[in-house]
Structures are given as C-alpha cells and as structure tokens.
Amino acid sequence: MRQNVTLLKDLVRDTGGEYLPIARAEAALPDLLPNRGEPFTIDERLRTLWDRSWVMYLLVGLLSVEWLTRKLLKLA
C-alpha cells in the first residue's frame, strides 16, 4: 500500500492542517503541538451521596410512586 500524498495534501488544505513527510515529522511535531507542560488541578473532593438530601427524597418518592402504582393496579 502506497501513501497517497495528493489526497493527504488535499485534506490538509481543506481542514487547515499541515502536511509533514514522515522524515520531517519527528523534528516538526513538537513545534506544532500545544504546550502540555502547564500544570492543572482537578477538584477531587469526595461527597457522599447522602449529603445531598434531594437524592434521598427523590429515591423515596420514586419508590413510593412505584409502590402506589402497583397497589392501585393490583399488581403486587
């Protein structure tokens, strides 16, 4: 299988990229890629599910609706 350079250059022109022959890729890629050396932080605070009361109320409400529906339709 051969590399279709014409097709690759057409794709680059249409997408705004840059065509690099494989021989130049290793030297040119670091200049093209964004700087990934900037540190960032991730908010990893753990919150228990039950610290949010609305979750408990939602769960109890859904179970109550399910139970009432089964009772009224005589399914259980």
Which residue range forms the structural domain that includes residue 4?
A: 1-36
pLDDT per residue, tens digit, the chain (76 aa), is: 788 999 999 999 999 888 888 888 888 888 888 777 777 778 778 777 667 888 889 999 999 999 999 999 988 6
Total domains, the chain: 2
Same domain, 52 and 31: no
Same domain, 1 and 29: yes
Buried b (16+ CB within 10 A) or exposed e, 46-64: eeeeeeeeeeeeeeeeeee
Quote the pLDDT of residue 23.
87
Tokens 């991730």: give the residue: 42
Quote the pLDDT of residue 67.
95
Residue 11 lies in a domain: yes
Quote the pLDDT of residue 59.
93
Quote the pLDDT of residue 76.
66
Quote the pLDDT of residue 31.
82
Same domain, 32 and 58: no
Same domain, 31 and 55: no
